[in-house]
Amino acid sequence: MKQKKVIIALSGGTDSSVAAALLKRAGADELRSSSRFANARVFDLIGVFMKLADFPQFRENKKRAERVAKILGIPFLVLDLRKEFKKRIIGRFLKEYKLGKTPNPCVFCNKKIKFGLLLEKALALGANFIATGHYARLKRKRSGVCLLKGKDKEKDQSYFLWRLNQKQLKHILFPVGDYTKEQVRSLAKKFKLPVLKIPESQEICFIRNNINNFLKRNLKNKPGKIITKEGKIVGEHGGLWFYTIGQRKGIKLPGGPYWVLDKHLKKNLLIVTKNENDLFKKELLVKNINWILGKEPKLPLKIKAKIRYRHQPALSTITKELKAKTYKVVFKKPQRAITPGQSVVFYRDKELLGGGIIC
């Protein structure tokens, strides 16, 4: 059988390390039950570490990834993407915050870096696939490659992958998508990989301490007034980018608690409320929608929409706005703290249909 050349993104963490080990052992008992690997028993595997920054944790991750590659007996390469990562991911992240939004950098990193630049380089090297340690699954049909939730409901990462397209998905493998985190840890122990004692990776890899310190270092403070929804001035803020919709901690106003209700960028106003029920909205507008199968489904469409990573998918209906490039999502029940800049992702059962950016 002809070997399939695979570039595995080794981050130095448990999930990508086990993904590499599973590919190395493809055809063994661990993979025989997985239909995605039924016709691919041998992979020509190359481990790649993406150098995204010079932080100490990245250097430690690189050393660990190199050790994993050595244990598995596969070639190991380092891909220096610091310049691209700073411009395309960190730069965009800061730009969105400056506009008063709350972006999710992992969504854009997956599209532009992991399944963008890495895939381009992999195909240039003659690879058939790239693989990562994401908890997600793929199902190949005549209509295209469907993106499904990972088996582990708590670790499912399909939410971060809504911007992927068919050209990318046909070259992707998610080896740990059919496993739970506990099973992955057991496999790491079985394969004797040096990753069992490392902590879970944080969501935003380039923020070392907390997000406000990062923003203070990179964005100029722009103080302004804090007002209630009725227009009463109740305090002063240090910059709108330090706050997000639904936030309670850090507002530092007497007579609270207060919650962040909205932000008025042009007037530099932070709008707060003492009534948490004000945070619940029944609809939102979406832009920059991507449909996984490459074509828009028949609308209106009843779906389950997820407005942030840890949000429970909620019953809703999506329709297209007339004479606009936006879509409207109307929820069966009001949702708390719908936040501009965040991703809203659409599911039908376990299948991710697409997603967009909340306006």
Q: What is the 3-state secondary structure (H, E, C) of 340-351?
A: CCCEEEEEECCE
**pLDDT, position 208:** 75
Looking at the predicted structure, is the pLDDT value of residue 31 above 50?
no
**pLDDT, position 227:** 97
User: 28 pLDDT band (50/70/90 cuts)?
Assistant: very low
User: 37 pLDDT band (50/70/90 cuts)?
Assistant: very low
Kindly report, residue by residue over 223-233, the tens digit of the pLDDT: 999 999 999 99
Which residue segments constitute the domains of the chain, with CATH numbers given?
4-190 (3.40.50.620), 220-274 (2.30.30.280), 280-358 (2.40.30.10)
**pLDDT, position 196:** 79
Mean of the per-residue pLDDT values of the chain:
91
Structure tokens at 198: 């490392």
Return the percentage of the chain with pLDDT > 90, whole number: 78
Structure tokens at 348: 């039908």
Kindly report, residue by residue over 71-84, the tens digit of the pLDDT: 999 999 999 999 99
Please indicate whether residue 106 is annotated as part of the active site. Answer: no
Q: What span, in angstroms and rounded, lies between the C-alpha atoms of 312 and 128?
A: 35
Q: What span, in angstroms and rounded, lies between the C-alpha atoms of 58 and 52?
A: 8
Segment among 26-30, 136-140, 150-154, 317-321 with least mean pLDDT:
26-30
DSSP track, 21-44: HHHHTTTSHHHHT-GGGTT---EE
Looking at the predicted structure, is the pLDDT value of residue 325 above 80?
yes
**pLDDT, position 143:** 87
With H, G, I as helix, E, B as strand and everything else as coil, classify residue 292.
coil
User: 33 pLDDT band (50/70/90 cuts)?
Assistant: very low
Q: What is the mean pLDDT of residues 83-112?
A: 93
Structure tokens at 84: 């691209």
User: 345 pLDDT band (50/70/90 cuts)?
Assistant: very high
Segment among 29-43, 125-139, 326-340 with least mean pLDDT:
29-43
Number of H helices, E strands in the chain: 10, 17
Give me the phi and psi of 179, to 5 degrees please: -125, 155
Looking at the predicted structure, is the pLDDT value of residue 275 above 60?
yes
Taking the model in full, what pTM does it have? 0.91
Quote the radius of gyration of the chain (alpha carbons, Å).
22
User: 326 pLDDT band (50/70/90 cuts)?
Assistant: very high
Query: What residues have CB less than 8 Å from 313, skipping those under 6 apart?
Result: 304, 305, 306, 347
Pick from 202, 271, 215: which is nearest to 57 by CA? Answer: 202
Looking at the predicted structure, is the pLDDT value of residue 40 above 50?
no
Looking at the predicted structure, is the pLDDT value of residue 111 above 50?
yes
Looking at the predicted structure, is the pLDDT value of residue 58 above 90?
no
Q: Are the C-beta atoms of residues 95 and 64 closer than 8 Å to each other?
A: no
